[in-house]
């Protein structure tokens, strides 16, 4: 059988070995270092992006806390000013005293039902993602 002849197999094995060694050194010394540089650069970019993301999220949440505190204080001011106007305008008028209590109970019931519907039926993640900007009373 000619394919098993030792004189034909030795040159083929030699060329196979030489091509393998050449290919191995080509990959090891030229292609693999470039590939590893790209991988290291991508890793550094990902780490840099994570650091930037964390700093931006911290600043966002700190600004958000400040805005929520300002929003709550503005809401309290509005609530007290509305209640004071309603209370003062109706308290001194004896004829409208019971009307004030009825209106106040209506407002209270509306607020209770709105809070109940907000708690029961709204997605808190969606509500937390909304950005609310209070309108100042100076306008």
Helix (H, G, I), strand (E, B) or coil at 38: helix
In a domain, 88, yes or no: yes
In a domain, 139, yes or no: no
Tell me how many domains the chain contains.
Answer: 1
The mean-pLDDT minimum among 5-14, 58-67, 128-137 falls in 128-137
Is the per-residue pLDDT at 97 higher than 60?
Answer: no
In a domain, 137, yes or no: no
In a domain, 135, yes or no: no
Per-residue burial over 67-81, b = 16 or more CB atoms within 10 Å of its CB, e = otherwise: eeeeeeeeeeeeeee
pLDDT tier at 136, thresholds 50, 70, 90: low
In a domain, 136, yes or no: no
In a domain, 9, yes or no: yes
Give residue for tokens 């470039």: 34
- pTM here is 0.42
Round the average pLDDT of the chain to a whole number and report it.
78
- The encoded tokens of residue 54 equal 């964390």
pLDDT tier at 36, thresholds 50, 70, 90: very high
Q: Cα separation of 67 and 131, whole Å?
A: 9
Is the per-residue pLDDT at 131 higher than 70?
Answer: no
In a domain, 62, yes or no: yes
Q: Specify the pLDDT at position 56.
A: 92
Q: What is the domain extent for residue 106?
A: 2-129
In a domain, 134, yes or no: no
Contact by Cβ (8 Å): 123, 130: no
Residue 90: which of 76, 108, 102 has the closest Cα?
102
């Amino acid at each position: 059988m000619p394919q098993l002849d030792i004189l034909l197999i030795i040159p083929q094995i030699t060329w196979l070995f030489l091509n393998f060694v050449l290919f191995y050194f080509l990959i090891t010394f030229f292609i693999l270092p470039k590939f590893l540089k790209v991988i290291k650069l991508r890793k550094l970019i990902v780490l840099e992006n994570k650091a930037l993301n964390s700093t931006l999220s911290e600043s966002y949440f700190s600004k958000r806390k400040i805005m929520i505190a300002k929003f709550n204080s503005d809401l309290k001011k509005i609530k007290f000013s509305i209640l004071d106007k309603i209370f003062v305008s109706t308290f001194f008028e004896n004829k409208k005293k019971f009307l004030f209590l009825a209106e106040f109970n209506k407002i209270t019931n509306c607020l209770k039902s709105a809070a109940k519907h907000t708690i029961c039926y709204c997605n808190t993640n969606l509500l937390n993602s909304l950005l609310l900007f209070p309108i100042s009373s100076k306008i």
